[in-house]
Amino acid sequence: MMSESETATDLSVMDLYNHLTAQGETVRNLKTNKAPKVDIDAAVQLLLKMKVDYKQVTGQDYKAGCPPVDGLVSIDNDSAVEEGDDQVDPWTVSTSNAKGVDYDKLIVRFGSSKIDQELVDRIARVTGKTPHHFLRRGIFFSHRDMHQILDAYEKQKSFYLYTGRGPSSEAMHVGHLIPFIFTKWLQDAFDVPLVIQLTDDEKYLWKDLSQEECHRYAVENAKDIIACGFDVNKTFIFSDMDYMGSSPSFYRNVVKIQKHVTFNQVKGIFGFTDSDCIGKISFPAIQAAPSFSNSFPQIFGDRKDVQCLIPCAIDQDPYFRMTRDVAPRIGYPKPALLHSTFFPALQGAQTKMSASDANSSIFLTDTPKQIKNKVNKHAFSGGKDTVEEHRKFGGNPDVDVSFMYLTFFLEDDEQLEKIRQDYSSGALLTGELKKCLIETLQPMITAHQEKRKLVTDETVKQFMSPRKLHFNS
Ligand code: TRP
């Protein structure tokens, strides 16, 4: 008997390809002829849907001018980029849209799955906990294989968490905390071990910094990470420079991955060129290795089958598309992923917050006064120019950075919804909205600073020593 998907495959992949090409042409024509926006949107929607179907049937991404190839599975899912698309990769995040990156489109482009209400409800059922507001509000919005993690978990088969940070400076900003706040919630909700990679090697290769500086930033950043409240009995934090050299098992996995990924593939995925140093070219294998449990024998013994779940911002996905592609070829399970949106810059959601631009960032070291000044001075406002206009027409929370930050940090759903309504109706003025944000951020950052002060060198050493962790396997 033939299954439905097999029938679909027989429906001539070439036909699908031709229809898609024609639809691409239609969209272009509508745009050039300045057709009504509804018509363009409808045509783009159809195009996106056809791309998803095409991907499902062929396992390949649609590329204009490249008919489907039998048996060739492209791992560069991001190759279907079109002019005007948002740019999202480990080094650049930018869009021309004030509302920020179009995340639904990104899901299609990257070939991941949306975190829908059903998945959020399922996480609530399985953990018996109210899902974190990052899940409830779509801040973690996309995933790969999360249902599989939950299926196994329900059958008492546990998993481990892996996340990381590139220590490029001592100064961490509030956006950097997002994956760690969420990972801490996951660790508590599922009661699982966690490994945190500090890629001091990566920052040495990419930035104009010495090895000593990168390593020092790694240790300093570890303090901010520890201050998020991780359980020392269940968490291993490591610097690549230290751990790689001391762990034969980790290095063996790095080499295995290196053997199974070609230069062509990393060029396609990361855009490396012939003049990039070979350190950069082989680095993705180092970010991939922690996805496999036998990279940590002190934690998992020789088990290579403990599945990994990686919470990260969506710009890190290219690393893990590569990892998921090699995993079955070297006999390991593919890591699952939970992707977050970006934390917008103060100046607007066209870019993410960047530590190298002091005015775009709220740092974890800022004083209450600095926070107040930065928000008042720099936070992009969706309000109207005058109070009269604002009262009459209301503000736009969708482009307002203060409102966006409140969706990240104000925990009370009802209060947030009231702010949204009052701001939209004009009852709440921009100054008042900013005041809400300032009053949310100030105590949060002061609390962080107090927790960080309690992190001693001894504590850091404990977290960063390879050792057994306590968990139920
Ligand atoms: N490359 C990441 C950065 O520059 C750091 C990182 C390493 C990471 N491993 C990770 C991030 C796993 C998320 C998940 O910040």
Could you identify the atom of ligand 1 that is nearest to the CA of residue 312?
A: 13
Residues in the chain: 473
Report the DSSP pairing between strands 140-144 and 93-94.
Answer: unpaired
- Low pLDDT (below 70) residues in the chain: 1-16, 55-61, 65-83, 473
- For residue 266, report the distance from its CA to the centre of ligand 1, in Å: 17
Task: Return d(Cα 240, Cα 282) in angstroms, integer.
Answer: 14
- CA of 458 from ligand 1 middle (Å) equals 25
Note the pLDDT of residue 57: 61
Q: Which atom of ligand 1 is nearest to the CA of 310?
A: 14
Coil, helix or strand at residue 323 = helix
Alpha carbons 368 and 370: distance in angstroms, whole number: 6
78 lines ligand 1 (CB under 6 A): no
In this prediction, residue 81 carries a pLDDT of 63
Whole-angstrom distance, CA of residue 245 vs CA of residue 247: 6
Strand residues in 115-219 grouped as ranges (E): 140-144, 159-165, 194-198
pLDDT at 73: 37
Give tens-digit pLDDT for 230-258.
Answer: 999 999 999 999 999 999 999 999 999 99
Residue 9: its pLDDT value, please? 33
pLDDT of residue 72: 35
Our answer on whether the CB atom of 203 is closer than 6 Å to any ligand 1 atom is: no
pLDDT tens column, 393-434: 999 999 999 999 999 999 999 999 999 999 999 999 999 999
User: Does ligand 1 lie within 6 Å of residue 166's CB atom?
Assistant: yes
CA–centroid distance, 83 to ligand 1, in Å, is 28
Instruction: Please tell me what DSSP assigns to residue 277.
Output: -
Best residue among 319, 338, 356 to mutate for probing ligand 1, ranked by most atoms within 8 Å of CB: 319
Q: How far apart are CA 212 and CA 235, in angstroms?
A: 24
The residues, any chain, with a CB within 8 Å of residue 15's CB and separated by 6 or more, are none
Closest by Cα among 95, 83, 104 to 348? 95
The predicted pLDDT at position 74 comes to: 43
For the entire predicted model, the pTM comes to 0.84
- Ligand 1 in reach of 308 Cβ (< 6 A): no
